[in-house]
Amino acid sequence: MEADRVLDLSGEVCPVTAIKTRAEFNKLKEGETLKVIFTSKKSAESVGAEFRKNLVKAYVDGNKYILILRK
């Protein structure tokens, strides 16, 4: 799935992942999507829970955890 913006947080862990996701999400216009890439399952789960109302899709691609968020 393509997104309007991509945020690659590979190698990052909480709370940095949550802070950076929030900052990038706030830049979106209504209806735009953000693809967030994690290598930490725990970080992906934490951010996914925080943005559960905006979560369009969550999936695993190899060793990457991907979330698609819509504003």
Q: Give the CATH number, domain containing residue 13.
A: 3.30.110.40
Q: Inter-axis angle of helices 41-50 and 16-26, to 10 degrees?
A: 40
H or E stretch at 25? helix 16-26
Domain interval for residue 55: 5-70
Q: Going residue by residue through the chain, which has 71 residues, state the pLDDT in tens, using 9 for 90 and above.
A: 789 999 999 999 999 999 999 999 999 999 999 999 999 999 999 999 999 999 999 999 999 999 999 99
pLDDT for 1 equals 73
Task: Give how many domains the chain has, as a whole number.
Answer: 1
